């Protein structure tokens, strides 16, 4: 038996709406490793492949950043230990376009990693590579045409293929989206040759889905929510093969970590009163600092006894006037408008200064409308 654990698009270091969530990403790495351990233990006589199909980092910049440290200590080193403990495990990594952002033609963040850990992992960085031992063709992002991909697969005779590409007819969590600007749309039916390919493990699109009628080619989707439009469940896609054939459709095994679900929910909640404080408190194992109004503090205290006495929680209480008082102050003060215009100006300079003018204006209009709706 062969079990392929398929994931992609970790985007370590990504910020969501200016909120860093490396903590969520640390939970994600724990969850992926936990599934690897479970499968290796449950199937000691099976071969287990962990395929990470690109965009492991969000950007290729300085490798001294905290996300690179997280990657080394919370992913690479544990995987090296797991490989020593479980001889049936092999790990395959390819880089994606984000691993070379801002310029996909630049050297990849994985170029030094490939040299450091060549004895531990099967890696393809910048250029395709075929592992004959595993019959695995690894195709990192290059913007290949359908015919180019088809030729590589056919010539290698690979039974398993990893690739980081955007294919036509894929679907995102928020709707349909076309592929990148290439000579023509890449149709998966044009990519797969007539040879016996058992599985294609794609990265780039963050929604789990099959791409062909026979369900050979799959996106695993990102293992955690990366944008506000993302929907649960998120996890690792498990593929099962026996005697050289796929025995059933892949199974998306969610990263069932309540801490990840909390991060997902908090990212979508706009009203303080809708935050599931009980869930946050129940699974809190990191230090939490909050800046809240007395009313919110009283509401949390009423619902969760001892919340603010926990060693994990600190808070600052901010006294904000009632809505009626605020409206009265606004109507009486000539300086209020200038005050808020100054706040908006500083916000624009801080958040939107790098955007083109037309996009900056559009974002500002949306933000102002959003803030007005929230009062």
Global confidence as pTM: 0.71
pLDDT of amino acid 311: 66
Q: Which of 52-66, 215-229, 231-245 has the lowest mean pLDDT?
A: 52-66
Average pLDDT for 127-133 = 96
Higher pLDDT, residue 206 or 186: 206
Question: What whole-number distance in Å separates Cα of residue 200 and Cα of residue 219?
Answer: 9
pLDDT of amino acid 62: 54
- Confidence category of residue 51, pLDDT binned at 50, 70, 90: very high
SS3 164: strand
pLDDT at residue 348 is higher than 90: no
Question: What whole-number distance in Å separates Cα of residue 140 and Cα of residue 55?
Answer: 10
pLDDT of amino acid 248: 93
Q: Which of 34-43, 44-53, 350-359 has the lowest mean pLDDT?
A: 350-359
pLDDT at residue 287 is higher than 50: no
pLDDT of amino acid 345: 72
Average pLDDT for 53-77 = 79
Q: Which of 65-79, 174-188, 298-312, 325-339 has the lowest mean pLDDT?
A: 325-339
Q: Check if the beta carbon of residue 299 is closer than 8 Å to that of residue 276.
A: no
pLDDT at residue 236 is higher than 90: yes
Backbone angles phi, psi at 250, to 5 degrees: -60, 155
- Confidence category of residue 21, pLDDT binned at 50, 70, 90: low
Higher pLDDT, residue 225 or 197: 197
331 Ramachandran zone, left/alpha/beta (phi>0; psi -120 to 50): alpha
Chain position carrying tokens 């044009």: 190
Model pLDDT for residues 264-282, shown as the tens digit of each residue: 655 554 454 555 555 544 4
DSSP code, position 58: S
Percent of the chain scoring above 90 in pLDDT: 36
- Taken in order 119, 122, 123, 129, the sign of the CA dihedral is positive
Question: What whole-number distance in Å separates Cα of residue 137 and Cα of residue 162?
Answer: 6
């Amino acid at each position: 038996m062969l079990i392929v654990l398929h994931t992609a698009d970790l985007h370590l270091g990504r910020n969501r709406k200016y909120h860093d969530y490396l903590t969520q990403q640390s939970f994600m790495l724990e969850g992926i490793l936990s599934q690897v351990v479970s499968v290796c233990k449950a199937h000691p006589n099976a071969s287990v492949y962990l395929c990470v199909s690109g965009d492991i980092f969000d950007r290729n910049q300085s490798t001294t950043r905290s996300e690179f440290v997280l990657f080394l200590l919370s992913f690479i080193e544990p995987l090296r230990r797991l490989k020593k403990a479980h001889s049936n495990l092999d790990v395959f990594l390819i880089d994606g376009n984000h691993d070379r952002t801002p310029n996909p033609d630049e050297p990849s963040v994985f170029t030094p990693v490939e040299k450091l850990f060549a004895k531990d992992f099967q890696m393809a960085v910048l250029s395709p590579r075929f592992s004959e031992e595993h019959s695995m063709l690894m195709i990192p992002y290059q913007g290949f045409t359908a015919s180019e991909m088809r030729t590589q697969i056919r010539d290698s005779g690979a039974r398993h293929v990893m690739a980081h590409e955007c294919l036509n007819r894929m679907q995102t969590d928020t709707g349909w989206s076309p592929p990148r600007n290439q000579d023509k749309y890449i149709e998966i039916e044009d990519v797969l040759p007539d040879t016996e390919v058992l599985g294609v493990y794609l990265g780039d699109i963050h929604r789990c889905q099959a791409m062909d009628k026979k369900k050979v080619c799959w996106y695993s989707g990102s293992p955690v929510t990366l944008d506000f439009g993302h929907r649960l469940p998120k996890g690792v896609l498990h593929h099962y093969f026996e005697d050289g054939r796929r025995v059933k459709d892949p199974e998306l095994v969610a990263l069932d970590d309540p801490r990840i679900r909390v991060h997902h929910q908090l990212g979508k909640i706009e009203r303080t009163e809708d935050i599931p404080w009980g869930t946050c408190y129940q699974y809190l194992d990191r230090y939490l600092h909050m800046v809240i109004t007395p009313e919110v503090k009283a509401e949390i205290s009423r619902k969760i006894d001892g919340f603010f006495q926990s060693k994990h929680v600190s808070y600052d209480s901010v006294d904000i006037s009632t809505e009626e008082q605020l409206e009265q102050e606004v109507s009486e003060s000539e300086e209020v408008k200038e005050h808020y215009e100054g706040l908006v100006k500083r916000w624009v300079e801080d958040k939107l200064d790098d955007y083109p003018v037309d996009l900056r204006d559009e974002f500002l209009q949306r933000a102002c409308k959003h803030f007005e709706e929230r009062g």
